[in-house]
Amino acid sequence: VAKAKAPDKWVRTTCGYCGVGCGMYIGVKDGNAVYSKGDPLHPVNMGTLCPKGLSEHEMVRADSRVPAPLIRKNGTLTPSGWDEAFSKVSAEFKRIQNEHGKGAVAVISTGQLLTEEFYALGKFVQLGLGTNNYDGNTTLCMASAVMGYKQTFGSDGPTGSYEDFSKADVILLIGANIADNHPILKLHIAKNKKMTGKKPTIIVVDPRKSKTSQMADIFVPLKPRSDLALLNGLCYIIMEQGWEDEKFIKERTNGYKAFRKHIMNNYPPQEVAHITGIDVKELYNLAKIYATADAAMSAWTMGVNQSSIGTDTVSAICNLALITGNLGREGASPMSITGQCNAMGTREFGFTSSIPGYRNYASAQDRKAFADIIGVPEEIIPTKRGYAYPQIIDAINRGEIKALWVVATNPLVSYPDQNGLREALKKLDLLVVQDAFLSDTAEIADVVFAAATWSEKEGCYTNSERRCNYAKRAIDPLGTTKSDLDIVLEFSKYFDGVHEMLFKELSTPEDLFNEIKKVSKGQLCDYSGMSYALIEELGGIQWPCNEKAPKGTKRLYSEEMPCSTPDGKANLLPVDWQPLSEMQCKGLPLMLNTGRTVEQFHTRTKTGTIGILDNLAPEAWVDLSPKDAAKLKVKSGDRIAISGTRGRVEDVIVKVSETVREGNIFVPFHFNEQLINAVTIPEFDPKSFEPNYKQCAVQLHSAAVP
């Protein structure tokens, strides 16, 4: 750091972008964040950061920050005071709920808040506003992992640790482009070679030759959305060849007989080869490598989750691990990798798909336990989950939901079928957006609650390996912005008796954290043994952390730790592949796949403000195979349009690339200028409600072929 710019102090914290959860330091000079560097002692990243982490301080004072609340007056968003903003929104919420019922107000949050903020927000929405129509944008990325884990193990919870990447003999990356999306995880794989002297076999399963495939010893370029069939086919071969772990199956699983019958009747290798495009010999090779490894790790992310059969595909990954005994041991776990920095925090305490502490809405015992701990009447705990994100949008369309409060997410870039979404949002009486940045969604809001951002507030983020990390406040919030926690606490005072009932003794993040500890005590996601001081000292703590495991727990479901099912055994579930609902046809000859690039994060509200990142990836592009490029008479650098049955995207630059096979294209979703979600399909997993962002039929329009 040049002397003139040398920070006055360094504040130890956690990266606020992705679910890897890297430890870092913020350099502070004259009250501003001026530098970011990795924490060499943090076990996740050991001093390194990806390009986003290294430039994170730059977004904190970006021009697109909202320094004060905004209220739309005469059609223009106008700066206001907090009292005016809270008064207006609370009056409208009350009017709408009086006229149309409590559920007519809905809330969509995020994976970006701190755990204490999620917890307070969920408590306020569900118990204070009394609406259970509350969900997070985490449903757009992680919901299938949640539901898959629940149906297999009886509870959500990533089973392993990053350390397992360093200990596995085989690493199966399926639908996981970690090189772009979770780059620091590559360190743990690299460490594997160093420590054991023996290189692990890396298998990458992806229809696209992503950057991650370059790490692969075996690249499996299967047909789009055939992963579940592949997994079932591998199980067939393993059971046919007698490579399964009989002892583990007998002692640790339920349902083997029915599972085996289903697989052997429906997924013979020839059939699986036909569905996946992977030949039979290669299927046998893959099955043998995975099944005969001492320790096999499987990891997945959006390529699996973002599918209308995502939940069952997650269970299929778990089935493969279970029949080979790859659970609860070093290097042996089926591991979901989360998207946002605190997707896990919202899963555990967000009050969306479960009551905080992984409790069930449907269980009277769970509702009573939670109500007793936090000192509220049991009757106000919802007896069922309300609408999930896509159901909220449908209910707005039907006129059932009249007010929407969007917290730190940007549906007007991230949600599928953008034209349908815009039509729905027009029907609202009130749109409130709470964000640190003037996002695309904030721009159309009636009221904007101006939030503080990363480095301006404190609390915890939990990463993909269940590690609760502490994020420290380094600088003062911009203008009159407030932390998301303070917004919730103060807004709750505008509703009679709500603040007194829910937050009387709670005013700081640590107060909320202490309540979370009580709420989670004895549950799988047990935080009761944690404290801010201990988290800082240890570089994060993996839950469960309690008297039995005072320094946390590296992996779930080891021999000593039963699953959360009634008998403590994992469920081997027969799950089925299904063909795509929207296939290529004469008018729509190409299959669109969407995803991400390492330089950008989500909808670019943050990374779009950082010059170096935006220069590296300034706009969307379309990867097009050489054969398709020839058919369309286009070359790299040309500009084309992409259209489907729901919309059209103009002016997308062409990259002719061998990374996609003929008939398939790839476009990153981050960019509002080339809004690829105008084309994507509003098709959802019926169990998780996660959208299928990965396959829809499109055509391209070039100057030569309009």
Q: Is the CB of 179 or the CB of 431 nearer to ligand SF4?
A: 179
- Among 50, 299, 451, 696, indicate the residue that binds ligand SF4 (CB under 6 A): 50
Asked if residue 52 binds ligand SF4 (CB under 6 A), the reply is: yes
Q: Is the CB of 303 or the CB of 647 nearer to ligand SF4?
A: 303
Please state whether the peptide bond connecting residue 544 to the residue before it is cis, i.e. omega within 30 degrees of 0: yes
Which DSSP letter does residue 547 get? S
- Among 7, 128, 157, 183, indicate the residue that binds ligand SF4 (CB under 6 A): 183
Closest CB 545 distance from ligand SF4, rounded Å? 21
**Which residues, in sequence order, are bridge partners of residue 170?**
201, 296
Closest CB 181 distance from ligand SF4, rounded Å? 8
Which DSSP letter does residue 266 get? H
Closest CB 52 distance from ligand SF4, rounded Å? 4
Please give the residue whose beta carbon sits closest to ligand SF4 in the complex.
53
Nearest to 226 by CA among 590, 686, 580: 580
Q: Dihedral angle at the C-alpha atoms of 543, 546, 552, 558, nearest 10 degrees? A: -80
Closest CB 336 distance from ligand SF4, rounded Å? 16
CA–CA dist 510, 195 (Å, integer): 39
Asked if residue 390 binds ligand SF4 (CB under 6 A), the reply is: no
- Among 7, 13, 18, 656, indicate the residue that binds ligand SF4 (CB under 6 A): 18
CA–CA dist 55, 36 (Å, integer): 6
- Among 104, 184, 187, 322, indicate the residue that binds ligand SF4 (CB under 6 A): 184
Asked if residue 17 binds ligand SF4 (CB under 6 A), the reply is: yes
Closest CB 346 distance from ligand SF4, rounded Å? 16
In this structure, are residues 127 and 115 in contact, taking their beta carbons and an 8 Å threshold?
no
Asked if residue 22 binds ligand SF4 (CB under 6 A), the reply is: yes
- 174: exposed, middle or buried (Cβ count in 10 Å: 0-12, 13-18, 19+): buried
Asked if residue 20 binds ligand SF4 (CB under 6 A), the reply is: yes
- Segment near ligand SF4 (CB under 6 A), from 15-23, 167-175, 639-647, 676-684? 15-23
Asked if residue 49 binds ligand SF4 (CB under 6 A), the reply is: yes
Closest CB 599 distance from ligand SF4, rounded Å? 11
CA–CA dist 518, 520 (Å, integer): 5
Q: Is the CB of 183 or the CB of 416 nearer to ligand SF4?
A: 183
Q: Dihedral angle at the C-alpha atoms of 58, 64, 68, 69, nearest 10 degrees? A: -130
Q: In sequence order, what DSSP letters do the residues of 370-388 get, joined into one string?
A: HHHHHT--GGGS-SS----
Which DSSP letter does residue 543 get? S
Q: Is the CB of 49 or the CB of 125 nearer to ligand SF4?
A: 49
Q: Is the CB of 50 or the CB of 293 nearer to ligand SF4?
A: 50
> Does residue 586 sit in helix, strand or coil?
coil
- Segment near ligand SF4 (CB under 6 A), from 82-90, 176-184, 481-489, 688-696? 176-184
Total of chain residues touching ligand SF4, rule CB under 6 A:
14
CA–CA dist 249, 262 (Å, integer): 16
For residue 62, CA distances in Å to 67, 398, 615, 644 come to: 10, 38, 16, 35
Q: Is the CB of 110 or the CB of 391 nearer to ligand SF4?
A: 110
Asked if residue 53 binds ligand SF4 (CB under 6 A), the reply is: yes
Direct distance between the N- and C-terminal alpha carbons of the chain, in angstroms, rounded to an integer: 52
- Segment near ligand SF4 (CB under 6 A), from 46-54, 238-246, 494-502, 645-653? 46-54
CA–CA dist 581, 681 (Å, integer): 10
Give Cα 555 to chain centroid, integer Å: 20
Closest CB 305 distance from ligand SF4, rounded Å? 17
- Among 7, 21, 69, 175, indicate the residue that binds ligand SF4 (CB under 6 A): 21
Backbone torsions φ then ψ of 304, nearest 5 degrees: -95, -50
Q: Spell out the SS3 assignment of 248-267.
A: HHHHHEECHHHHHHHHHHHC
- Segment near ligand SF4 (CB under 6 A), from 44-52, 168-176, 429-437, 509-517? 44-52
- Note the residues at the interface with ligand SF4 (CB under 6 A): 15, 17-18, 20-22, 45, 49-50, 52-53, 182-184
